Structure 1
């Protein structure tokens, strides 16, 4: 795995593990016990639903724990006006008037539909370290590449909308 995560990512993951362990797990186990007490398990939907919720909860806890154990801690060392982690970048395609804004985040917070991309994505890789006014060459694959002009770099830090992705 060895995902590149910030200390904040790890803190959020640990908070979710704690919540799932201390709050969700007891609720789910109580639901399993109550459903089991109803008798015949062969046609007991509540029992199967509670067991499924228990498996999903345990799976998420195990996933997050493994992510934390194998994480590589990263910190943004870019200058204030350079593209780096937790910075919003407004780009413009040459010969077009429209701009698009992206935020550079770690892989556990990435969501391209919400404009959050990683430094490992083709666009993110091309933008890293650049400044407003620079031209970035994005190479998607051997057949597709394009240029974008960096219009603005804004240091916004972490925001409420930067939630952990669900897998």
Structure 2
């Protein structure tokens, strides 16, 4: 399985990986050792918390290493009139009966609460390649379909202003 990521996604993951291995891991190991020195481990809350933080960091390191190892780097190119990756789109949602502003991003940077939708989500798949005036049908898994009308497209670029998801 390969995750389709941009070079910026990959660079951000490598930066986080370096930080977690070189800076965070030694600090967390030291915290575990300090807490362990406080005595009885069965009732040592500080030790359990330090151990959990270290384990979360190690888990994130493994996740990032796997993502970097299996990533397929994609380029961003789309027709000037069509919706492409990192474009901001104003749509009229037939279910909500109002306009929404959505930005199509890679899966690693999605955040629905901020209007950042993945290119692999049902709405992202439906919108990519469409133009102003097009009406698309979005079919979420296990839910009723709905339509959106594309009202405006603002071309975007892949910059590093968008954070990568924590998981």
The TM-score normalised by the length of structure 1 is 0.89
- Cα distance in 2 for partners of 1:42, 1:148 equals 56
CA displacement at 1:8 relative to structure 2: 0.6
Change (3 A) 1:50 1:100: same
- Cα distance in 2 for partners of 1:56, 1:140 equals 32
CA displacement at 1:95 relative to structure 2: 10
> 1:129 corresponds to which residue?
129
The TM-score normalised by the length of structure 2 is 0.89
> 1:42 corresponds to which residue?
42
- Cα distance in 2 for partners of 1:66, 1:90 equals 35
Residue 152 of structure 1 pairs with residue 144 of structure 2 = no
Preserved contact between residue 94 and residue 146 of structure 2 (Cα < 8 Å): no
- Structure 1: which 5+ residue stretches go unaligned? none
> 2:65 corresponds to which residue?
65
Change (3 A) 1:143 1:166: closer
Change (3 A) 1:29 1:96: closer
CA displacement at 1:63 relative to structure 2: 0.3
Residue 82 of structure 1 pairs with residue 82 of structure 2 = yes
Change (3 A) 1:94 1:63: closer
Write the mapping of 1:18-57 to structure 2, written as runs, cut at 5 A: 18-57=18-57
When structure 1 is superposed on structure 2, of 98-107 and 70-79 the one drifting more is 70-79
- Cα distance in 1 for partners of 2:140, 2:23 equals 44
Write the mapping of 1:4-23 to structure 2, written as runs, cut at 5 A: 4-23=4-23
CA displacement at 1:42 relative to structure 2: 2.3
